[in-house]
Amino acid sequence: MNKPTPCMVWLPADHRLLGDHGHQMPFLLLGDKYARAVKVGADCQPVMFPLADAGQIPDLLPLVDGVMLTGSPSNVHPAHFDEDVADPSLPLDPVRDELTLALIKACVHEGVPLLGICRGFQEINVALGGTLHQRVHEVPGRMDHREPKGAPYDEQYAPRHAIRLAPGSVFEAWAGGPEVMVNSLHGQGINRLAPGLDAMAHAPDGQVEAVAVQGARTFAYAVQFHPEWRCWETPFYNAIFDAFGKACRQRRSLRLQAADLARAGT
């Protein structure tokens, strides 16, 4: 018996230089924890198009059933929201920006399931017209949302603070209540919310922690925290990926039906 074609989720690559100073080479990277969360939590196959550019989106997007925008050490270039770089020591990834900001708009337009995490959350806000705090910890009244650098990963990704979830939202349903604890590993965050987004969760200091794309035809959510970290161990995180996977399978079903109809018409 033939196995059903797996759902495929596109995870854009990071572009980074690795190696000793003066002997660095360019690499295309994807964090294991993101790919593993898609495979285990969403029950989908993570895929990469390592050298894809924005011009190829119309050809590549129809091949997949969802898109997940991962976190990254790099930040969205502030030129995309009309600001100068506040901290030149922090890494940027303009090649990723060029792809993902266009990919977000294509996903929303085409009804492709979309999940953004950390940098991906910030990319969605910027792509749809919002702005970012480049240093949340320097904003009056805001907490320091950064992880303890140098600590073991279990400590870095441990629950750090509660978030308050929008009443009646899918996030409240996934969490099983109006409030839930999450991890926190970010220096940047939403300043002005994009006009195409609704805030779905806030930290105790008012920082937006989750968003939904207004009027989306399918799953289109993003979170500032990191539910990919051992998502199968945390019911709230697992529920996010389970819902994303279901949306991707619905997309696959529609995609295969359209292909069958096209073949029947030839």
What is the model's pLDDT at position 2?
57
**Positive/negative CA dihedral, 187, 232, 254, 171:** negative
Specify the 3-state DSSP secondary structure of 202.
strand
With bands split at pLDDT 50, 70 and 90, how would you rate the model's confidence at 139?
very high
Which of 123, 226, 231, 248 is flagged as catalytic? 226
Q: Which residues make Cβ contacts (< 8 Å) with residue 171, sequence separation at least 6? A: 165, 200, 201, 210, 221
pLDDT (tens digit per residue) in 141-182: 999 999 999 999 999 999 999 999 999 999 999 999 999 999
CB-count exposure of residue 250 (10 Å: 0-12, 13-18, 19+): middle
- Residue 161 phi/psi, 5-degree rounding, is -155, 160
209 part of the active site: no
Q: Is 246 exposed, middle or buried (0-12, 13-18, 19+ CB in 10 A)?
A: middle
Q: What's the pLDDT score for residue 257?
A: 87
How many angstroms from the chain centroid is the CA of residue 139? Answer: 24
Q: Share the mean pLDDT of the chain.
A: 95
For residue 139, give both structure tokens: 């904003």
133 is catalytic: no
Annotated catalytic residue, options 123, 147, 228, 231:
228
Q: Label residues 49-74 b or e (16+ Cβ within 10 Å = b).
A: beebeeeebeeebeebbbbbbbbbeb
How long, in residues, is the chain? Answer: 266
pLDDT in tens, 79-134: 999 999 999 999 999 999 999 999 999 999 999 999 999 999 999 999 999 999 99
Q: What is the mean pLDDT of residues 226-235?
A: 98
Across-strand partners of 255?
Answer: none
Give the pTM: 0.95
Whether residue 4 is predicted with pLDDT greater than 80 in this model: the reply is no
Residue 3 has a pLDDT of: 64
| 226 counts as catalytic | yes
Q: What is the pLDDT of residue 258?
A: 83
Residue 214's contacts (CB-CB under 8 Å, 6 or more residues apart) are: 196, 197, 198
**Is 39 in a helix, a strand, or coil?**
helix
- The terminus-to-terminus CA distance of the chain in angstroms comes to 27
- Choosing from 118, 147, 172, 248, the catalytic residue is 118
Ramachandran angles phi, psi of 64, nearest 5°: -120, 170
Backbone angles phi, psi at 165, to 5 degrees: -100, 145
